[in-house]
């Protein structure tokens, strides 16, 4: 299984058409078709369903696409890091981050680095804990900014000296919008829009005083911008962290929980991981910045 063949496969999966993929790859259509057929024979799996105008992935094809994307991404990252190895401070820094206002602190550090080292490029991917740590463990991220408790025996880490506050995002005309705070019993009979992270957080669910099965979960989300649209359309009350959605001038309002519920943030990276020069500089700069805000 060659890297270029994986790139061929991903091009076809993306274009959903062999002719367009072949044109993009500067290959003839018969050559590309033969490469795909050889790939399927190598694994003994059918990866594509070939229609008249469109190619779709089988279940095996969907699984293989995810793995191929990870392999190709890691290969390209390694190639770039090798190019920038040595004394030069340049290259890419990949950070996975949960949705938190604390990302602005990472951005401040990176902005300062980029003023000093113009060859550093910053890439951030949002997601929940399960998605982010999976990519970190596979070497696809240099760092992750995680919300809540982390496995400190598994990762190296720097805890951030502040916490985000939980609350409810709702329409301004909602019955609870005029309250200064929201208590758990206020939400027991309300349609809720919950994040997967909240559903997996035992201490957060304990705050409710009721099991999830007894709550009215109208919808779930993994990106709060989508949840805010649901709230705006009157689907329910979004349980979210403060300062993620700018409610000024909108039809939404954020009301904090009572008793107060907060969560900490931690920057983590793999133990025994060899960092690029760019990643090392970022870590040094972030540790120094952390001391100034502590």
CATH number at residue 138: 3.40.190.10
137 and 276: one domain?
yes
For residue 100, the SS3 value is: coil
Separation of alpha carbons 40 and 42, rounded Å: 5
8 and 61: one domain?
yes
pLDDT at 72: 86
Cβ partners under 8 Å of residue 54, min gap 6:
16, 17
pLDDT at 193: 97
170 and 250: one domain?
yes
111 and 62: one domain?
no
pLDDT at 288: 94
Separation of alpha carbons 166 and 261, rounded Å: 5
pLDDT at 52: 77
Q: Which domain holds residue 214?
A: 164-261
Tokens of 30: 């018969």
75 and 92: one domain?
no
169 and 253: one domain?
yes
174 and 256: one domain?
yes
From residue 10, give the alpha-carbon distance in Å to each of 31, 46, 99, 136, 262.
15, 15, 29, 22, 42
Of the candidates 137, 129, 145, 243, the one whose C-alpha atom is nearest the C-alpha of residue 195 is 129
Partners of residue 220 on adjacent β-strands: 194
Separation of alpha carbons 133 and 268, rounded Å: 9
168 and 257: one domain?
yes
Where does a domain end: 80, 110, 132? 80
97 and 236: one domain?
no
110 and 184: one domain?
no
Q: Is the pTM of this model over 0.75?
A: no
Cis preceding-peptide flag for 195 (omega within 30 of 0): no
Residue where the block lists tokens 């900014």: 145
CB 227 within 8 A of CB 195: yes
Mean pLDDT of successive 10-residue segments in the chain (294 residues)? Answer: 87 90 89 91 91 87 89 80 67 92 93 92 90 89 92 91 93 96 96 84 79 91 94 96 94 96 93 86 94 84
For residue 262, the SS3 value is: strand
Number of domains in the chain: 3
53 and 131: one domain?
no
């Amino acid at each position: 299984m060659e890297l270029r063949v994986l790139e061929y496969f991903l091009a076809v999966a993306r274009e959903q058409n062999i002719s367009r993929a072949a044109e993009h790859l500067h290959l003839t259509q018969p050559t590309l078709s033969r490469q795909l057929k050889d790939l399927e024979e190598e694994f003994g799996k059918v990866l594509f369903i070939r229609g008249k105008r469109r190619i779709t992935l089988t279940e095996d094809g969907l699984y293989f696409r995810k793995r191929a994307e990870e392999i190709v991404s890691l290969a390209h990252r390694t190639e770039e890091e090798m190019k920038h190895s040595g004394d030069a401070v340049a290259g890419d820094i990949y950070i996975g981050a949960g949705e938190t206002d604390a990302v602005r602190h990472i951005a401040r550090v990176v902005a300062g680095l980029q003023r000093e080292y113009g060859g550093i490029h910053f890439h951030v991917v949002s997601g929940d804990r399960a998605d982010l740590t999976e990519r970190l463990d596979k070497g696809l991220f240099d760092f992750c900014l995680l919300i809540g408790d982390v496995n400190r025996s598994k990762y190296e880490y720097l805890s951030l000296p502040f916490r985000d506050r939980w609350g409810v995002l709702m329409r301004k005309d909602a019955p609870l919008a005029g309250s200064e705070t929201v208590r758990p019993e206020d939400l027991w009979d309300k349609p809720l829009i919950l994040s997967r992270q909240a559903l997996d957080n035992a201490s957060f669910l304990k705050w409710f005083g009721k099991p999830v099965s007894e709550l009215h979960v109208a919808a779930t989300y993994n990106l709060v911008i989508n949840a805010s649209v649901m709230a705006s359309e009157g689907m329910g009350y979004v349980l979210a962290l403060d300062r993620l959605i700018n409610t000024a001038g909108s039809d939404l309002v954020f009301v904090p929980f009572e008793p107060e519920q907060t969560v900490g943030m931690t920057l983590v990276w793999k133990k025994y991981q060899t960092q690029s020069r760019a990643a090392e500089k970022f870590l040094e700069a972030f540790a120094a910045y952390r001391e100034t805000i502590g």
